[in-house]
Amino acid sequence: MGNRALGRPVYFISGGVSQFTKARQDLTFGAMVKESTDQMVEDLNLPCGKFIEILRKKNGGTKASYFSDHYTRQLMAGIMAQDIQGFCPLSSNRVEGGGATGGICFQEAVKDVASGYLDLCVAFGFETMSHVRTWKGNEFIALASDTDFDYPVGGFYSGYYAMMVTRHMYEFGTTVEQMAMVSVKNHRNAFFNPYAQKREKLTIDDVRKSEMVAWPLTRRDICVMSDGAASCLVVSEEGIEEILKAGGNIGGTVKIIGIGRGTDMMRMADRPHGEVVLLPWEKEDHYRDLKYPGVHSFRAGRVAAREAYGMAGITDPLEEIDFIELHDAYTSSEIQTYEDLGLCKYGDGGRFVESGASFLKNIDYGFPLTRPGKLPVNPSGGLIACGHPVGATGLMQAVFSLWQIQGTIKKHFGTDDLQIPEAKTGLWHSHAGTGTYVTVTIGEKV
Amino acid sequence: MGDILAEDKKKLDSLLKGGSSGIEPLVFEQSYDIEYVMSHGQDSPFFVGLAFGKLLGTRCKACHYSYATPKSFCVNCGGRCSWVEVPGSGKIHTFTLCHFGSEAFLKETPYLLILVEFEGFNTLFLSRLKGVDPATAGLKLIGTKVEAKFNPALKDKLDFMRKRKIDYKRTESLSPEEKELIKKMEIKVSDLWFEPA
Ligand SMILES: [Zn+2]
């Protein structure tokens, strides 16, 4: 594998999130996006007319991120969201890749700026999952699995992830209590995030005793469906100059230092049993007997991490990264993702969460932790607590990451409980159904 | 047109003057039904095989990688695969007990899903596990020997097809009438499930 590079420096300078909630009946999807782009522009201290003027003058463009045409019951929803923002006739295209739609969208914006095609790119995303009732919504998501072989036997996503973690438990001894700790952590973190849909103080017992969906996953091991939108502004050096020239104010600049992406086969049954894709600091004999990725690991996540670390020059994520926002659609997938990202060896994810490494140092979770705060994961509360309006999710994670690195959590959340002191480097991770598409993006304070 | 009530008139006036309308979002229901005409395409022999009580997989002609869930093109080398019979019994690789599901399957809950591994095959097969009390499901299920069961409802059509000597491995040899019959059979992957051996 050769080292990959971006053509020229790319910066992430502003973002906005429209509150994630069960149903936004007061706004249509385009207006929901407008709520998030307005926040993104206000943060630059620019009137929106001025911002649009800059986009038109200085190679501006957009990317629209949304997953399902079924939920909107509207084809070409992207262009409707584009026009309601006042972004026509600028260059744009839709991006779609299941749960990773937002993460892919962000990276496509980065690439358009890196290539020199755009100087400013707005990556905006949304989903309106409230348009159908919960179990019909589950059916729509299940249609994002093989509809000839997997869906007809009663396959649905919570069931697929349950089978994956059941094998993880069998293979590595991961426990349901370790999974529940992820749920406690993320709900507790979200307690301090006003954008989150579920702000709850839970115990491990609360998680285990909530309704079983697909053994071993309970309702509190699983993220909820939401309506929501999010927007990110990615720019070149010229883009920054133009904003400053127009009287804009940048609350903190993040340089994109690494992007990576991997894929895997749709059907879990097809996942091979081969050799582990190694990170540069790992040795083959760490995994002599491990059949990889099997259904217990996400090869796409490992490939994405390896690419992004390679580009960013990261060789020790625990020391070089200050926080991670990752795609915890399930508590189990957060644990599996620790391993894909090389925060610990394959099989050690359960013990990693138990050590407290992924918790915040300053928050009381109701149980003792041996090394809290080594590398906080999902300080925002993640998908489990913030909600998962698919097309918006990966962008929401990027925005929360930006605010961490900018040091503007207090400004945006009204409290600094979730602010990681002197956060310099952050990683955000986006993931589609059973690990079919995974993106890893790394940003650093300028 | 009906008369405008005083209260509504006030809302409308406020709206036109640029004030808050006080109008609640108008929520409505709408249904959306579609009949799709689908084809199993190159995977069709698998489904015809089910009618004959056979589980068909594939094997790459070039690298010999084998698929318990058929793939016509090898994901390792891009080569063509040929059809092969998968043994009727295997072992549970992993499982889950579903208390919920997609809307279409809610009435069937609770049900067990398993991935089955087969001797001599590189990939797995997703199916239902029946004949096990869901209340007893636990990690100990992993490794349990299971065997394939085929939906008895397919039997009439199957007998008919046997009499007609249809070669299930060669769909191109079917007459239009026979093809029509197979279409009517609506063979689904759920016509196959596994039970403890
Ligand atoms: Zn091959």
Amino acid symbol at A167: R
Assess A88–B contact: CB distance below 8 Å, yes or no: no
Q: Residue A219's Cα: distance from chain center in Å?
A: 20
Residues of chain B with pLDDT under 50: none
- Phi and psi at residue A115, in whole multiples of 5°? -75, -15
| DSSP strands (E only) in A74-164 | 91-95, 120-128
Assess A209–B contact: CB distance below 8 Å, yes or no: no
Amino acid symbol at A48: C
Is residue A337 within 8 A of residue A298, CB to CB? The reply is yes
Q: Which of B132, B161, B158 is nearest to B144 (CA)?
A: B132
- Phi and psi at residue B117, in whole multiples of 5°? -110, 145
Q: pTM of the prediction?
A: 0.94
In terms of C-beta density within 10 A (0-12 exposed, 13-18 middle, 19 or more buried), how is residue A269 classed? buried
Q: Which of A341, A333, A422 is nearest to A382 (CA)?
A: A333
Angle in degrees, 0-180, between the axes of helices A176-190 and A331-340, rounded to the nearest 10: 100
Q: Which of A361, A355, A401 is nearest to A378 (CA)?
A: A401
Q: What is the pLDDT of residue A53?
A: 98
Assess B37–A contact: CB distance below 8 Å, yes or no: no
Residues of B in contact with A170 (CB under 8 A): 94, 139, 142
Across the interface, whether the CB atoms of A166 and B96 are under 8 A apart is answered yes
Mutate to test the interface with A, among B114, B122, B126, B194 (most CBs of A within 10 A): B126
Which candidate from B99, B123, B142 shows the least CB-CB separation from A270?
B123
Q: What is the pLDDT of residue B38?
A: 75
Q: What is the pLDDT of residue A134?
A: 84
Distances (CA, A) of A294 to A300, B95, B130: 12, 14, 24
Q: Which residues contact B10 (CB under 8 A, 6 or more apart)?
A: none
Q: What is the pLDDT of residue B21?
A: 66
Burial readout A126-142 (b: 16 or more C-beta within 10 A, e: otherwise): bbbbbbbeeeebbbbbb
Is residue A398 within 8 A of residue A247, CB to CB? The reply is no
Q: Which residues contact B98 (CB under 8 A, 6 or more apart)?
A: A154, A156, A158, A159, A162, A213, A214, B105, B109, B110, B111, B112, B113
How many Cα atoms are found within 13 Å in the side-chain-facing hemisphere of A6?
28
Return the structure tokens found at A189: 């973190």
Sign of CA dihedral B45, B49, B51, B52: positive
Across the interface, whether the CB atoms of A156 and B67 are under 8 A apart is answered no
Give B73 Cα–ligand 1 centroid separation in angstroms: 8
Q: How far apart are CA A279 and CA A351, in angstroms?
A: 20
- Phi and psi at residue A266, in whole multiples of 5°? -60, -50
The residue written with tokens 């992957």 in the block is B189
The residue written with tokens 């006080």 in the block is B22
Across the interface, whether the CB atoms of B100 and A135 are under 8 A apart is answered yes
Q: Residue A128's Cα: distance from chain center in Å?
A: 18
Angle in degrees, 0-180, between the axes of helices B155-163 and B176-185, rounded to the nearest 10: 170
Residues of A in contact with B113 (CB under 8 A): 153-155, 159, 163, 214
Query: In chain B, what's the furthest Cα-to-Cα distance?
Result: 81
Q: What is the pLDDT of residue A391?
A: 97
Across the interface, whether the CB atoms of B101 and A167 are under 8 A apart is answered no
Q: What is the pLDDT of residue A294?
A: 97
Q: What is the pLDDT of residue A199?
A: 93
Q: Which of A141, A155, A135, A157 is nearest to B190 (CA)?
A: A155
The alpha carbon of residue A158 is apart from the nearest alpha carbon of chain B, in Å, by 8
Q: What is the pLDDT of residue A248?
A: 97
- Taking residue A39's Cβ as centre, other Cβ atoms within 10 Å add up to 18
Q: Strand, helix or coil at B129?
A: strand
- Taking residue B142's Cβ as centre, other Cβ atoms within 10 Å add up to 18
The complex scores an ipTM of 0.95
Residues of chain A with pLDDT under 50: none
Q: Which of A197, A246, A252, A275 is nearest to A52 (CA)?
A: A246
Residues of B in contact with A159 (CB under 8 A): 96, 98, 101, 113
Across the interface, whether the CB atoms of A154 and B99 are under 8 A apart is answered no
| DSSP strands (E only) in B38-110 | 56-60, 66-67, 81-85, 89-98
Number of helices (H) and strands (E), helices first, in chain A?
Answer: 17, 13
Angle in degrees, 0-180, between the axes of helices B155-163 and B44-51, rounded to the nearest 10: 100
Q: Which of B76, B195, B65, B71 is nearest to B133 (CA)?
A: B195
For residue B95, give the chain A residue with the closest CA: A163
Distances (CA, A) of A337 to A305, A324, A341, A428, B127: 10, 11, 6, 12, 26
Is residue A33 within 8 A of residue A127, CB to CB? The reply is no
